Structure 1
Amino acid sequence: MSTQTMPGPAPGTARRLMVIIVGLAALVTLMLTAFALPSVNSGPHAVPVGVTGSQAATHSIDKALDDDQWHVTAYPDTTALTAAIQDRDVVGGLVVSDGGIELYTASAGAPSATAALTAVADAVAERQHATTTVHDLVPFTQDDPRGAGLSAAALPMILGSLFPAIVLTRLFPGHRGLRTRVAGVIAFSLVAGTAITAFLQFATGTVDGNFALTTLGLSLGMAALATTFIGLESLMGFAGIGIGSAVMMLMGNPLSALSTGPHWLPTGWSTLGQILPPGATGSLLRANAFFDGNGAATPALTLGAWVLGGLGLLLIADRKGSRGALRAANTDREKESEAENKARAGV
């Protein structure tokens, strides 16, 4: 009676399996790091605030605010302080007088920092046996007083930019379809930016600023994401889309600070979040929708750099594809010439 032995694993299988396991473990760790670590360490981090009042009063406020949590700037009067808030130089400010404490905020710009600053103002007022009067200069809309629609916008924007990249790649593959994919992505970004703005402004009432300005900002954000996905795919295939979507969803989404404002994350995480397209898009949306474009320059330039980077990847892929097509054409001509020579020799 003969016995059969099971075939052993192919050479290198164990090594490939180990690489896959380590890679998946690293991915899970990255997800945990991106989602959990910033949340655990969330809180005010060098939040810019203003104070005005007598020298003794402003000095006492300055001492009451932790230097690691708050960055305090003194202003000569209330007018200068409120102008700084509306220009987004500070997120809020305290006016200290004999009659009590007046707190000026812009909750639509930094909701979590506003809540923390309110608690600080109440504590200071309690120690001085005074009262706190709150003036919210830039609140959320009455239809969405907590900005819930804004908080929920990051992931749909990422997925909304990912899907057309996949669809266009399927419909117009290869080097021949490259320019069609670029045109499709740009057209999609304009349409999607308009649609998202219309939804946030007319369906949920989350924003009520200049419609055209908000639309342009969101279209730029969608273009930054979509061109990046298309550019990575043009060089690396679907692996490029996988890498891009992993970075944007696992890092860009939790670090976007759409629900809290960027000053609520640790400094390094906050900076990274504002460099990535979801965070920059959120900051641009806040600037355009609530602050008449104040503070829009930095996120707009950031998103513009991502668009140029994506187009740069597409240009590299286009040149590589053109050289490949030229080599293929030369090879075909050489084969045809060789076949003709053989045919003549046979005659």
Structure 2
Amino acid sequence: MSESSVTPAVTPWQRVVGTGIALSLVVGVILLAFAWPSLTASPRGVPIGIVGEGPAAEQVTAAVGANADDAIELISYEDRDAAVAAVERREAYGAIVLPANPAAPGAAPEVLKATAGSAQVAGILDGLAARVQDQVDEQIRAQVEAMSAQTPGPVTIPRVKVTVTDLVPFAESDSTGAGLAVAMFPLVLGGVIGGVVLTLTVSGAVRRVVGVVVYAAAAGLVLAGVLQGWVGGLQGNFWANVLALALAVGAISSTVTGLTSLFGRVGTGLGAIVMVLFANPISAASVPVQFLLQPWGAIGQLLPPGAAGTLLRDLSYFPAADATGPWLLLSVWFVVGLALTSVDLSARRAAARRAVQITA
């Protein structure tokens, strides 16, 4: 029988059907991983400051409690300066500042917000400003009616307008904050791809460690050049952003290579899945941490994508915020990943198996 007459082997129908079903499940898992945080996002305990005391503060607190359904946690501050400092340190997303003397001419409440901290919370604060304005109008209307009943003739209606002050708006080059939000997925994907490619193309533990370090440094420079120098998605000190991006890419890449060192090719896939399908969706890059179901929001901040998103936002818009935590987390992930990569247990186990086979 000639070779041309040999019928090539075909895939069994069971395997074809099983592969199709398995792939559909994979697609479903991917969709669920990325859609679930957004679909379940809801504000819970968002810290908002309040300045003032007395009946006015009690009325605002009661109104917030009645309408917010535990979405807002009011934190009392001594004065406006203290509230502003808290917003700039990212300890609060905004504040309601009530006048010390409501009866003084021109005295009006003020609502502070930081759009760059969260556009969603800024929208909530705009709604709070409208409710406070309704309360002020109602109080003025009641006072005018009381005065009209006691004093005949025309009554002057005072004009009190609640002001809204955006303490930290987005930069003109990224007026909606889209550049900062969409940068996270390419950052995570780039870190994973770097780890996978270095795993497949570089042999030797030391060489792989050097490859991760060089890739992280170069990627940090390239990403900062694109995000800050070209599209304007990042603000602040350029070299600080370069270092933050390099640490983020290095932390993700070294995690992939480190897990490969521990578990072989299974570790490569595990690292990619954890970073892309788990860590990235709960990174709070597009919504505040308080919008995510707990404890997932808090867990996300302990992983490289979440720490990177927080650090880049701090560097761009909140220089007064304490960024020690994100810097430390990214550094620890990077160093631990490099340490695991340098050990290369998987290669050692493979070498031991080959030695046993040769001696046998």
TM-score bin (small chain): 0.7 to 0.9
Deviation readout 1:209-241 (Å, 9 max, x if unpaired) = 011222211111111101011112223333322
- With normalisation by structure 2, the TM-score equals 0.78
Deviation readout 1:312-343 (Å, 9 max, x if unpaired) = 4324425x6457657867997x79xxxxxxxx
Residues 34 and 255, structure 1, Cα contact 8 Å, conserved in 2: no
Aligned residue runs from structure 1 range 1-347, under 5 A: 27-28=26-27, 30-65=29-64, 66=68, 68-97=70-99, 98=102, 99-129=107-137, 130-173=160-203, 177-292=204-319, 294-318=321-345, 321-322=347-348, 325=351
Distance of 1:274 and 1:18 partners within structure 2: 40
Q: How large is the RMSD of aligned CA atoms in angstroms?
A: 3.0
Provide closer, same or farther for how the CA distance between residues 34 and 57 of structure 1 changes in structure 2, counting only shifts above 3 A.
Answer: farther
Distance of 1:24 and 1:71 partners within structure 2: 44
Distance of 2:186 and 2:69 partners within structure 1: 37
Residues 100 and 125, structure 1, Cα contact 8 Å, conserved in 2: no
Provide closer, same or farther for how the CA distance between residues 146 and 315 of structure 1 changes in structure 2, counting only shifts above 3 A.
Answer: same
Cα deviation, residue 26, structure 1: 6.2
Question: Aligned with 1:49: secondary structure?
Answer: strand
Cα deviation, residue 116, structure 1: 1.2
The amino acid of 1:42's aligned partner reads A
Distance of 1:287 and 1:33 partners within structure 2: 29
Distance of 2:288 and 2:126 partners within structure 1: 16
Distance of 2:167 and 2:224 partners within structure 1: 23
Distance of 2:129 and 2:243 partners within structure 1: 37
* Structure 2, unpaired ranges of 5+: 1-10, 138-159
Q: Could you tell which deviates more after superposition, 71-80 or 164-173? A: 164-173
Cα deviation, residue 134, structure 1: 1.7
Cα deviation, residue 200, structure 1: 1.7
Distance of 2:304 and 2:16 partners within structure 1: 34
Distance of 1:83 and 1:221 partners within structure 2: 28
Question: Aligned with 1:93: secondary structure?
Answer: strand
- With normalisation by structure 1, the TM-score equals 0.81
Question: Aligned with 2:344: secondary structure?
Answer: helix
Residues 147 and 206, structure 1, Cα contact 8 Å, conserved in 2: yes
The amino acid of 1:310's aligned partner reads G
Deviation readout 1:191-214 (Å, 9 max, x if unpaired) = 211221222222112222011222
Cα deviation, residue 72, structure 1: 1.1
Question: Aligned with 1:100: secondary structure?
Answer: coil
Provide closer, same or farther for how the CA distance between residues 32 and 282 of structure 1 changes in structure 2, counting only shifts above 3 A.
Answer: same
Q: Once the two structures are aligned, what percentage of the paired residues are identical?
A: 35
Residues 192 and 256, structure 2, Cα contact 8 Å, conserved in 1: yes
* Structure 1, unpaired ranges of 5+: 1-8, 336-347
Q: Could you tell which deviates more after superposition, 131-140 or 221-230? A: 131-140
The amino acid of 2:262's aligned partner reads L
Question: Aligned with 1:205: secondary structure?
Answer: coil
Q: Could you tell which deviates more after superposition, 53-62 or 131-140? A: 53-62
Distance of 2:54 and 2:19 partners within structure 1: 63
